[in-house]
Chain A
Amino acid sequence: MKSIIELEEIRKKTFERIGMRKNKTGTRVLVGMATCGIAAGARPVMDAFVKELKKRSISDATVAMMGCIGACRLEPIVEIIDPHGSRVTYVKMTPEKAARVVAEHIVNGRVCLDYTMGEAERAEKAEG
């Protein structure tokens, strides 16, 4: 059984760990979780971000939900805001794509252009 005593142990360890990196703000990951996002499968995507960041011990990045930005046909939508405030919008996300975004974009700073909203809209136009 999970117990509160166990939580206290985790708290102590975490407290020691965070002491080393105070006041550092990192990347923000925002996952579209309105009705349209949820129905399109945003939850496994959000979960993939949380788990992938944990796996790589990136503790200064935060994952949060956001509302609908009006492009429901492109859901699940994820926005990545880097520490300088620049924003990239990824569309039609999956847990697999999330893993790549963490590795390439968040860790190495290279935007995954092929998943971006701009790219999706260009493809839509090309199809007519």
Chain B
Amino acid sequence: MRDLSLHLMDILQNSIAAKASKISVFIYTDTVQDELRIVVEDNGMGMEPEQLDLVADPFATSRSSREVGLGIPLFKASAERASGCLTIESMKGKGTIVTATFKISHIDRLPLGNVAETMVHVILSNPQLEVELTLHDSRDGSFHFSSAYINEMLGEVSISDYEIITWIRDYIDEGIKSNFGGVLNEIDY
């Protein structure tokens, strides 16, 4: 994967496949600890402990069409290449929390990429899904986006309408810039 937003998209698809109705994404940066943390929390079907043990194994997958699953193993490899790690907590019937950490200044840390695009594509494909995005930097400020709030406001107008989607994309982009501009060196102020 070229950037973290593509990994994020991949992980979000897992949540959707696990029949989640609500997915929360948190992206935190801590300049003192030099750490970037991405958390994806869903209320999907969750996993049994045995399944959880196998999840980072490329040859374990819940899919019936094929015998390999590379989403989590690739994300884990990207985190570990940047002195970070990937952890998964899951409870059958409750949901799953995937956390990946990265050393911000590590030469091999992948750039954040286009998070707005990832969120927009997930919303476009799953207009009924409740998607939340929270951005936070240790210095100050935070940003919050909730598709449920937007949906409520829109009433009869669909969230997947192009004009609305364009607004959401720009809105999230601005949130990324104002929170992480200058913190992650790939993002301008």
B24 within 8 A of A: no
B17 within 8 A of A: yes
Interface of A is mostly: helix
Question: B134: shortest Cβ distance to chain A, in Å?
Answer: 17
B32 within 8 A of A: no
With beta carbons under 8 angstroms apart, the residue of B1, B126, B154, B164 that contacts A38 is B1
A25 within 8 A of B: no
0/1 per residue, A69-98, Cβ < 8 Å to B? 110000000000000000000000000000
Interface bracket on B: 35 or more
Interface of B is mostly: helix
With beta carbons under 8 angstroms apart, the residue of A14, A39, A47, A68 that contacts B157 is A14
Please determine whether A35 and B117 come into contact, CB atoms closer than 8 angstroms.
Answer: no
Number of residues from A at the complex interface, CB < 8 A = 32
0/1 per residue, B144-156, Cβ < 8 Å to A? 0000001001111
With beta carbons under 8 angstroms apart, the residue of B13, B121, B156, B162 that contacts A34 is B13
A64 within 8 A of B: yes
- With A7-B153, A11-B154 in contact, is A43–B121 under 8 Å at CB? yes
- Chain A residues with CB under 8 Å of chain B are 1-2, 4, 6-8, 10-11, 13-15, 18, 33-35, 38-39, 43, 46-47, 50, 53-54, 59, 62-65, 67-70
